[in-house]
A and B are shown apart, each in its own frame.
Chain A
């Protein structure tokens, strides 16, 4: 067992699960989506991105790209949230919440892709 591989897979899976945890729930209900969960998802996603940097294989490039997409989506979600609550006085209306959650839904898709790619690569090595 390679500890490096464990850490790598751990962060990629954690990014996916946190992302999923934030995403799940009624779309426009702020009570179903926790800010801390979004924060954790962003932090873990950033770490996962750094872990994927420097891989020079083709699959490494796909992984890095999907991770960057997830980062972008999650940061956009956090930005929408922050701007709605602090900059404008719109507050956390169902419309704002819905767009935050849909952005995190996009990130979820990117995270699923990167997890699938990791699984494929793991499978390939076993042969």
Chain B
């Protein structure tokens, strides 16, 4: 790639040579052509005068005939000079203006500036490839939790969208093809502050290339990628991509939870914040047959998972034969009443539409609700801007693909322990989920949550380690007390403690901490900042533990006087 300066000089080479040439010829001419003074004696200009005349003529200032009245020969030459130099100037200025309006020059200038911005980022940043639905949600989320983000997308429209967003920090957006490794390097993949690489484009092949490039070009970054097909997903896991999200699997898992374990689903939705709340009554009857409409993996995986959980399902596929589909499947367009009647729309509990096309999902929902107004409806939403239509159509649970991708990736970026927590959480029963939900509600309310993790060790949390090593006791509950006033509690909760080879899920308040504990918190961003004080300030730790005031915040000559 050319730098803007070299591009400028390359384009300006000819105009500048023309300009210098014109001036040289004009000046030379004036020194050669004789003029005649009053007495008829010939004289010629020296270089100083000649250059002076050419300069004020060329720049169209025109002082007149200096130093003396010109002869006819000199006037003819002056005439020539005027047209020559003015043309040369117009040519030079025209080229310059053309260059400034040139797209390639703009591109070079813009990239240069963006790269300077990236070099100026002195905090960990995430490199997001693909600014579609999931990409834009993640950027929004990360920027609002004051993290730095760099975006790469192939489409100029997407980058323009990004630039029009009103964020309080600059989010550099590159219009580059992310499947080319060089683009990723330009966007800062090998920068020492690059903390994560996210492959969120709509093409599996591109995502695979990005994940590979991330693994090979910078071993330190954590890579998270989206994979639509099972093969790509397996492929990515095979070379140890940090986190692979397959929308069809996530959708199947969510819908299954919603149908079989409402409390667990509520908890999962509360913690992942995908914007997909269920809107049926808590005592709604969920047993019975569920009708699944869809042709691709979303419907297939969901049907398999529901059957495994013991829920009866029936599939309406667009086309195909009995061989590839479970027994009892119906074939035909699901948006037509006949097909739905054939599938027994009157006797089923609910309908799940999983088409890749939102119009088809919507028309299926509307037809089905006309035939059976009692239906519970779960829908796959492919484009974020259709949300309102789904709401109006009477959907009870709208699961947006972008939303589930973004909400699955965000917690992992914040704390790598989160997937382990979710796994353990989903292994518990409904009663536990209800308790957990209640505790989160009591402590945090309905605020947006953030995850972070820490570790009890001499390196990470020296004051905590000191207390525990000297035989003192510091409990889980003390961690989330307000360091400014011990009687207040912060909007934060310890979700899990990893201790040696087992985990404590949602530990009790009076559980003592031990050396080497890995703690997973969730809470508001504000409480996250306050809890950091616990990690570093011995006085805060002593205050939280014993309730003694924070003496060390006073100077030493006060301290002796204040202590008994």
Contact = CB atoms under 8 A, between A and B. Distances in A.
B238 interface: no
Contact of B20 (A39, A46, A78, A85): A46
User: Which interface residue of A47, A54, A56 has the most chain B CB atoms within 10 A?
Assistant: A54
B28 A51 contact: no
A9 to B, nearest CB: 15
Contacts of B8: 54
A86 B48 CA distance: 8
A50 interface: yes
Chain A facing B: main interface SS: helix
A96 B47 CA distance: 17
Interface in A1-55: 35-36, 39-40, 43, 46-47, 50-51, 53-55
Interface of A: 35-36, 39-40, 43, 46-47, 50-51, 53-56, 78, 82, 85-86
A35 B6 contact: no
Interface of B: 2-3, 6-10, 12-13, 16-17, 20-21, 23-24, 27-28, 31, 46-48
Given A50-B16, A82-B48, A86-B48, 7 more contacts: A39-B31, A47-B21, A50-B12, A51-B13, A53-B13, A53-B16, A82-B47
A36 B48 CA distance: 12
Given A53-B9, A56-B2, A56-B3, A47 B17 contact: yes
A39 B17 contact: no
A24 B3 CA distance: 41
B453 to A, nearest CB: 47
A50 B2 contact: no
Contacts of A56: 2-3, 6
Contacts of B24: 39-40, 43
B48 A54 contact: no
A11 to B, nearest CB: 9
A47 B20 contact: yes
Contact of B13 (A40, A43, A54): A54
B9 A39 contact: no
Given A53-B9, A54-B13, A56-B6, A43 B20 contact: yes
A91 B208 CA distance: 78
Contacts of B48: 82, 85-86
A51 B23 CA distance: 17
B46 A86 contact: yes
A74 to B, nearest CB: 13
A51 B2 CA distance: 17
B27 A54 contact: no
B10 A54 contact: yes
Nearest to A11: B17
B104 to A, nearest CB: 14
A80 B227 CA distance: 74
A54 B6 contact: yes
A39 B45 CA distance: 14
Given A36-B28, A86-B46, A51 B6 contact: no
